[in-house]
Amino acid sequence: MTASPRLLSVATAVPPFAIRQSDVRHRIGAIFRERAGEAERFLPVFGNAGIETRYSSVPLDWYEQDHSWSDRNPLYLSSAIALLREAAGRALAIAGLQAADIDGIVCVSTSGIATPSLDALLMQQMDFRCDVFRLPVFGLGCAGGVLGLARAARLAQAAPDERILFLVVEPCALTFCRNDYSKSNIVATALFGDGAAAAVVSCRGTGPRITSAGEHTWPHTLDVMGWGVGDEGLQVIFSRDIPALVRERFRPALDNYLVRHGLAIADIDDWLCHPGGAKVVEALEDVLEQPRGTLRHARSVLRDFGNMSAATVMFVLARALERGGIGRRALLSALGPGFTVAFLMLENAEGEAGGG
């Protein structure tokens, strides 16, 4: 029988600057000062986002100035490495391991460019072995937390004696473009925060089993979300139709995934979804036929940290594990560019604890 990879630990990290949503709303005129009157029309977006606090790699007044791509990317690199080092150190400590015990690193990030990759840069600051294998992954966007963890689990299953460190970091608030007055940029200004997460995955050890993963990419949906590139750097693309697309297309993809694994929606005890935004959370609760507030961990992470792109679902997972653990089956899900939905199943055997 093939051994199942297990989630040995999960840890998160945020940068030092806590930013209240109310402060952003009050300073929106200064941030978009050349067209402050126009920006004022978008203030309801901030009030309806379901967010109270976010964390930023830079202080709030940084966003009031113009920044080129050559200004932003060094900040992305320094912030990403600091966050990864903190999250990785915590995940290793929880698992009772040292950096030298890790055999492979999967590192996901889509909010900046790093060559050498982030995992190679991190190796200069932590005592990983020189023969550790590395898999940097770019372009998955918000789906990267689920898809990256799924890739790490497959690698662990292929090498049952090895330990894989999964890393995800998104200082995505740094992508804010002050001279972009598109609705997508305004929404991102109201949603994005910075954060990182780490997890240790292996067939050796204890923790919830990662029993299956799946994804579905819909055709003709490349314009739903992603990045454009301008003189200031990466420019976010968000379709206003995302909540409607969730209502129309999420459930059939979910049902197909569950059927392939001999399950139904009633077999899932905990839904650990990337929240995206408040309207997306509501749409997910509707298509899952769950009462309002069922996705409590998704809602509370959105409230306390904002949307940290790929890292967010790992914060949801960490919060679930910290606050009572998960039931027999928990399903992680996230939506990302492609337009893609990703699924990953965690299971506890009867009598096993649900904590990480």
Distance between CA atoms of 138 and 246, rounded to whole angstroms? 24
310-345 burial, b at 16+ Cβ within 10 Å, e below that, comes to bbbbbbbbbbbbeeebbebbbbbbbbbbbbbbbbbb
Distance between CA atoms of 134 and 120, rounded to whole angstroms? 8
Residues with a catalytic annotation lie at 142
Calculate ∠ Cα 113-57-171, nearest 5°: 35
Instruction: Please say whether the beta carbons of 276 and 310 come within 8 A.
Output: no
Q: Six-digit token pair at 131?
A: 């023969």
Instruction: Please say whether the beta carbons of 19 and 55 come within 8 A.
Output: yes
| Ramachandran angles phi, psi of 77, nearest 5° | -65, -50
Q: How far is CA 129 from CA 60, 85, 148, 224, 332, in A?
A: 38, 15, 22, 40, 31
Q: Six-digit token pair at 213?
A: 């993963």
